[in-house]
């Protein structure tokens, strides 16, 4: 090989110029890179075009920094199924302006007409609401008009509440019925609860149920000395065990598979742990089921409460917080009456000499999303194509979320002096038929057209509306705006205890259903059956109410059988 500075030669013949080879290298590399970029960008363009066409075209409500930032994140997120097309504003100032090349559309006038026009002009499919920028009444108004225009509604909470800002589309979901219930947010004194529970040994009965499991989760946050979760539902108890193990690895807790009506088992648990606080949430709650099985309702709801309450006294428990229900107020069904009998017992026990345990009762209505509640039931019916079944067109109920209810239970537990019944402000009652119609609309369907609604008639023991106070009770305010205390009617311990002894014999040995219910009605005089086979028992002679003054009946008030007793001093 022979070479010089300008040429490369082989056997005396020139083959390549060194400069030409270098130039060829750079040109080849440049063309290759340009080709690769062209192919990649072409693919991205075609892919984005196809993706954009398949995305849901949505309006973003509001022109705040939050809604603008959210829209920008959705535009930049290639995996997002949503494509912001415009901002929807109720403020005329932004009319005819653009942000990120997205127009600001005004809807100050007849919003349903304007939404209809916007839908046609921009081919919009849905509306995205961001966080709590609207009050619940305003949100309801916007949502109703959006449904009327044939649009879907989506919701996302404020970005500052997100765990991370990536995958913004995963934080967006169809609006839920819970978001449309008119109730004010609940605030609790977490420091007071923390001071009250930290370092304590705490028992939660019914700890695998909807309320009990949430109570256990919330109590765990306050770092108790030991937390015992007790329930007789094996699978559900296993689930809460796995949750606590993963979420609170340093928490000292135990899950006990046990029945609250087994006195020997319960005594062993109390003797072992010497609880400071008991949250008693174990109960049977389904009205029609307990109407047909009164023995089991009384056994769990009433006798189970009596066993636990007596053990709490015997083992020096500081506080016993019973979770009750608004169905215990002037009960119209066996379930409500069993809970009212339990309330009466713990109140009577509080007045017994020598009792130092503070017995506190909390009452609230239906909780959203609990096992067997109406909302999961409706969702399943809608998923299956209907019909959605409502028992009466005028039936109304109070609703609260499970976390909210448990927060108030914890708060009330710190407030009680002993013997009180705390009643929670549940907000405005909700007409169940309206809820069914809205849930169908939230699913993107039309009630009575896509999904039929059937009125089936009131179930056994069911009321049209629930009450907050029994006859003779008065509502008193507390320092917490969402918690009231009921001025209750007091009952003599011996009378209630003897009545429960008789009931216990009936449910375990010789009693027939009607005899059992008759005895329960004698104990709970305000129990009047509705839509029930036991209604005719109310036509019989009602027990006489006797007032006890300083331990003795007032003159001229003789009574042949156990009766309801009021205590005066």
Taking the C-alpha atoms of residue 270 and residue 250, their distance in angstroms, rounded to an integer, is 23
327 among known catalytic residues: yes
Catalytic choice (327, 339, 358, 463) = 327
Q: Kindly state whether residue 495 falls inside one of the protein's structural domains.
A: no
Indicate whether 130 and 240 sit together in one domain: no
Question: 3-state SS of the chain: helix, strand, coil percent to 5?
Answer: 45, 20, 35
Q: Kindly state whether residue 392 falls inside one of the protein's structural domains.
A: no
The residue with tokens 């009327």 is: 148
Indicate whether 110 and 204 sit together in one domain: no
Q: Kindly state whether residue 437 falls inside one of the protein's structural domains.
A: no
What CATH number did the domain enclosing 141 receive? 3.40.50.720
Q: Kindly state whether residue 492 falls inside one of the protein's structural domains.
A: no
Strands 396-397 and 430-431: antiparallel
Q: What is the pLDDT of residue 564?
A: 42
Say if CB 82 and CB 152 are below 8 A apart. Answer: no
Indicate whether 265 and 413 sit together in one domain: yes
Q: pLDDT 10s digit of each residue in the chain, 569 long?
A: 444 545 555 555 656 566 777 787 888 888 888 888 888 877 666 665 555 556 788 888 877 777 777 787 777 776 777 888 888 877 665 556 777 778 887 766 556 567 777 888 888 888 888 766 677 777 777 787 888 777 888 877 655 545 444 445 455 666 667 666 666 666 777 888 888 899 999 999 999 998 999 999 999 999 999 999 999 999 999 999 999 999 999 999 999 999 999 999 999 999 999 999 999 999 998 888 999 999 999 999 999 999 999 999 999 999 999 999 889 988 999 999 999 999 999 999 998 888 999 999 998 877 776 666 787 788 888 888 889 999 888 888 877 788 888 988 998 888 888 888 888 877 777 888 988 888 888 777 888 888 899 998 888 877 777 766 555 556 667 777 778 887 667 788 999 999 999 999 999 876 688 999 999 999 999 899 988 888 888 876 554 444 443 444 433 333 333 344 444 43
Q: Which domain holds residue 41?
A: 2-51
* Cα 202 versus chain centre, distance: 23
Indicate whether 90 and 211 sit together in one domain: no
Taking the C-alpha atoms of residue 388 and residue 496, their distance in angstroms, rounded to an integer, is 43
Q: Kindly state whether residue 292 falls inside one of the protein's structural domains.
A: yes
Q: Which of 175, 204, 221 is the last residue of a domain?
A: 175
Contacts (Cβ under 8 Å, ≥6 apart) of 94:
63, 87, 104, 106
Taking the C-alpha atoms of residue 439 and residue 377, their distance in angstroms, rounded to an integer, is 11
The residue with tokens 């008193």 is: 476
Contacts (Cβ under 8 Å, ≥6 apart) of 70:
60, 128, 130, 156, 159, 168
Indicate whether 41 and 104 sit together in one domain: no
Taking the C-alpha atoms of residue 280 and residue 345, their distance in angstroms, rounded to an integer, is 14
Indicate whether 31 and 74 sit together in one domain: no
Q: Closest Cα partner for 361 from 469, 266, 462?
A: 469
Burial 234-255 (b: 16+ CB within 10 A, else e): eebbeebbeebeeebeebebeb
Taking the C-alpha atoms of residue 358 and residue 342, their distance in angstroms, rounded to an integer, is 15
Q: What are phi and psi of 553, to 5 degrees?
A: -65, 145
Per DSSP, the three-state class of 279 is strand
Number of domains in the chain: 4
Q: Kindly state whether residue 338 falls inside one of the protein's structural domains.
A: yes
Q: What are phi and psi of 172, to 5 degrees?
A: -105, 135
Q: For 87-204, where are the alpha helices, taking DSSP H only?
A: 111-122, 136-148, 190-197
Q: Kindly state whether residue 104 falls inside one of the protein's structural domains.
A: yes
Q: Kindly state whether residue 539 falls inside one of the protein's structural domains.
A: yes
pLDDT tens across 109-151, in order? 556 567 777 888 888 888 888 766 677 777 777 787 888 777 8
């Amino acid at each position: 090989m022979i070479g010089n500075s300008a040429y490369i030669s082989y056997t005396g013949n020139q083959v390549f110029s060194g400069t030409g080879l270098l130039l060829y290298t750079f040109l080849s590399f440049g063309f290759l890179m340009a080709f690769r970029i062209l192919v990649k960008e072409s693919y991205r363009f075609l892919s984005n075009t196809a993706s954009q066409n398949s995305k849901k075209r949505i309006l973003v409500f509001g022109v705040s920094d939050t809604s603008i930032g959210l829209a920008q994140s959705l535009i930049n997120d290639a995996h997002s199924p949503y494509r912001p097309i415009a901002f929807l504003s109720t403020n005329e100032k932004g009319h005819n302006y653009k942000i990120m090349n997205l127009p600001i559309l005004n809807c100050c006038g007849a919003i349903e007409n304007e939404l209809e026009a916007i839908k046609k002009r921009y081919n919009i499919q849905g509306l995205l609401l961001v966080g709590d920028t609207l009050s619940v009444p305003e949100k309801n108004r916007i949502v109703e008009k959006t449904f009327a225009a044939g649009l879907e509604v989506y919701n996302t909470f404020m970005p500052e509440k997100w765990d991370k800002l990536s995958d913004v589309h995963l934080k967006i979901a169809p609006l839920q019925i819970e978001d449309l219930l008119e109730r004010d947010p609940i605030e609790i004194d977490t420091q007071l609860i923390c001071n009250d529970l930290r370092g304590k040994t705490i028992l939660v009965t019914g700890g695998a149920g909807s309320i009990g499991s949430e109570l256990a989760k919330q109590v765990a946050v306050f770092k108790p000395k030991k937390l015992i979760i007790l329930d007789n539902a094996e699978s559900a108890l296993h689930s809460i065990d796995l949750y606590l193990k993963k979420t609170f690895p340093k928490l000292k807790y135990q899950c006990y598979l046990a029945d609250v009506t087994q006195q020997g088992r319960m005594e062993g648990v109390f003797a072992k742990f010497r609880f400071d606080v008991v949250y008693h949430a174990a109960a049977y709650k389904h009205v029609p089921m307990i109407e047909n099985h009164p023995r089991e309702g009384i056994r769990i709801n009433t006798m189970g409460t009596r066993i636990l309450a007596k053990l709490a006294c015997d083992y020096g428990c500081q506080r016993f917080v019973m979770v009750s229900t608004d169905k215990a107020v002037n009960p119209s069904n066996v379930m409500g009456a069993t809970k009212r009998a339990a309330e009466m017992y713990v109140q009577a026990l509080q007045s017994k000499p020598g009792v130092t345990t503070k017995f506190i009762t909390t009452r609230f209505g239906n909780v959203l999303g609990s096992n067997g509640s109406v909302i999961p039931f409706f969702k399943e019916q809608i998923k299956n194509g209907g019909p959605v079944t409502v028992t009466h067109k005028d039936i109304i109920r109070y609703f609260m979320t499970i976390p909210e209810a448990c927060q108030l239970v914890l708060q009330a537990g710190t407030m009680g002096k002993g013997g009180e019944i705390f009643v929670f402000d549940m907000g405005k009652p909700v007409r169940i038929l309206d809820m069914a119609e809205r849930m169908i609309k939230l699913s993107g369907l039309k009630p009575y057209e896509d999904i039929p609604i059937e009125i089936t008639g009131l179930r056994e023991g069911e009321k049209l509306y629930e009450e907050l106070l029994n006859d003779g009770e008065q509502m008193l305010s507390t320092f917490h705006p969402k918690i009231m205390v009921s001025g209750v009617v007091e009952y003599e311990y011996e009378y209630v205890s003897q009545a429960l002894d008789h009931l216990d014999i009936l449910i375990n040995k010789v009693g027939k259903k009607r005899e059992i219910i008759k005895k329960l009605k004698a104990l709970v005089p305000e129990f009047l059956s509705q839509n029930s086979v036991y209604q005719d028992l109310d036509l019989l002679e009602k027990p006489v109410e006797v007032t006890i003054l300083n331990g003795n009946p007032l003159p001229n008030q003789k009574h042949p059988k156990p009766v309801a007793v009021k205590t005066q001093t």
